[in-house]
Structures are given as structure tokens and as C-alpha cells.
Structure 1
Amino acid sequence: MPEILRNIHFVITVNPAVQLVRVTRSAVPSESAMQFEAKWMEACRALDRAGRSGLSLLLDLRAAVGRNDPEYELAMQRVRPAVMRGFRRVAVLVQTPAGALQIHRHLREDGIERLIGSDEDRLLDYLLDAGPHGR
């Protein structure tokens, strides 16, 4: 799959054959909430260049170091809509039940529909199903 962005925090690839964008977050922690937000916005610009319409998005956050201190929470609240908007479907791949709980809380906060889980095959089945309502 062609890469559209690679930096210390993200690798973003696009598979046009199946209309899938994959954002993989590295385990490298952000130095500050400001850097965290800046790197996510860099990822957003790459997603914009890829074009979002008709594509599905897989966010692979398994390696990410979780943060829930107020500065990071505010930064994430600002970037989530920018990252996820415009995609046909969104799924978030997490490593732990605690990670899933945090992403579920974000879903309640911002109302962006997404599937969350640790089973990559299940999430890919959801993202790659071309039907308007899933299976």
C-alpha cells in the first residue's frame, strides 16, 4: 500500500483497490500536548490529500501510549472530528479493554460513529463491506 505520510508518530497508507486508509500510531510518546495536536493535524492534512469521500478509515492505536490528562484530552477533543470526518466508515483498533473504554467515551462525546475493537479481521470486514448498512 502506498504511504502518504511517515513520521515518528504515524504511518499512513492508502489501499485504493479496497478504498481503505490506515493510520498506524507508533509507540513514541508526544513531548507535549501541543506536539500531540500538531502531529495529528499533520496526519489530517495527509488524509485530506488522500481524499476521504468513499474511503474507509482504520485507526490502529494498539501501540499508542494512552494519555488522559486534561491538556491531552482537550487536544484530542479538537483533533478527533478533523481526523474522522468525511470517511464512509471508521474503525479503531485498540490493544486493551481500557483503550476501548477510552475510545467509547470519545464516541459518546463527539457522536462520530465508529467500530472499536481488538480484532483486526472483524474491523476490516466492517470497513470493507461495500453495502450501505453493513452485513
Structure 2
Amino acid sequence: MLEILRNAHYTVTIDPAAQLARVTRSAAPSESAALFEERWMEVSRALDRAGRSGLCLLVDLREAVGRNDPLFEAAMQRVRPAVMSGFRRVAVLVRTTAGALQIQRHVREDGIDRMIGSDEAQLLDYLREGRPRGR
């Protein structure tokens, strides 16, 4: 596993053998919507450098402190396509039913298909199915 980004809010790793990018959100609260957006864009740039088209993406939000106030919602709407586009498959790991419902709403809003769940093994199986055969 190769770590390509770490900041107070996110860790991004790449597993070339599994063809998997993983974004893990820490429990650190976001101080502002602007900082929240900038941190997500750091994640997006790291994923760009890794080369999205050959990878699947797992986003682990289990430690995230949920926010749904209008400024954070608007920032999230802007960054989701930048972060989640271009992968073979995307899965989002959540801790709560409320978290899953929020991510389901995001899918409806931006049209980027992703599997959502709290069972990491099940999500990893889904992502492995998205890899080309023979690899």
C-alpha cells in the first residue's frame, strides 16, 4: 500500500496490485466549508496523479463527523464529481444508516454510481469485480 496524501482530514493510499485507491476520512472536524472543499480538492489532485482510469475507489467515511448545513452541502456538491469521477467502480464505506442515506442522496444528485455499505469486505468484493480479468 502506497500512501500518496495525508493531511488532518484525509489519507489517500494506492494498492497497485489490487488496483485500488482508498480515501480514508479522519474524525477531525472541518473548521469551515472553504477548508473542507480545499482538503477534498487535495484528495482529487492526489487521485489525478495516481491515474484514476485503472483503479477502483473506496471512500471510508466511518470516522467522519456528518455535516449537512447549506455551506457544507454546497461544497460537497462541487467536489463529489471531481473526486469520484473516472474510476472503474466506486464504493463508500459508512458507519450509520443516516450516513448511507446521505450518500444515496448524493448518488441521485450527481449520477455517479457507487455501492454504499458498512461491510468493508462486501464493498471490496464489489470493487474487485470491477477489475479487468487476468490481473
- Go from structure 1 to structure 2 and tell me whether the alpha carbon gap of 1:57 and 1:70 turns closer, same or farther (over 3 Å shift): same
Equivalent in the alignment of 1:114: 114
Q: Residue 54 of structure 1: CA displacement?
A: 1.8
Equivalent in the alignment of 1:90: 90
1:20-35 equivalences under 5 Å are: 20-35=20-35
- Give the distance between the partners of 1:19 and 1:87, measured in 2 at CA: 10
* TM-score computed with the length of structure 2 as normaliser: 0.96
Q: Residue 43 of structure 1: CA displacement?
A: 0.6
- Give the distance between the partners of 2:130 and 2:69, measured in 1 at CA: 38
1:47-62 equivalences under 5 Å are: 47-62=47-62
Q: Residue 98 of structure 1: CA displacement?
A: 0.2
1:1-135 equivalences under 5 Å are: 1-130=1-130
- Give the distance between the partners of 1:131 and 1:12, measured in 2 at CA: 20
Percent identical across equivalent pairs?
A: 73
* Root mean square deviation of aligned Cα: 1.0
- Give the distance between the partners of 1:65 and 1:53, measured in 2 at CA: 30
Q: Which runs of 5+ in 1 are unaligned?
A: none
- Give the distance between the partners of 2:45 and 2:111, measured in 1 at CA: 22
Q: Which runs of 5+ in 2 are unaligned?
A: none
Say which SS state the counterpart of residue 53 (structure 1) adopts. Answer: helix
- Give the distance between the partners of 2:44 and 2:131, measured in 1 at CA: 26
Q: Residue 131 of structure 1: CA displacement?
A: 6.1
Q: Which amino acid is 1:123 matched to?
A: L
* TM-score computed with the length of structure 1 as normaliser: 0.96
- Give the distance between the partners of 1:102 and 1:76, measured in 2 at CA: 11
Q: Residue 130 of structure 1: CA displacement?
A: 4.1
- Give the distance between the partners of 1:130 and 1:41, measured in 2 at CA: 25
What count of residue pairs does the alignment treat as equivalent? 132
- Give the distance between the partners of 1:44 and 1:22, measured in 2 at CA: 12
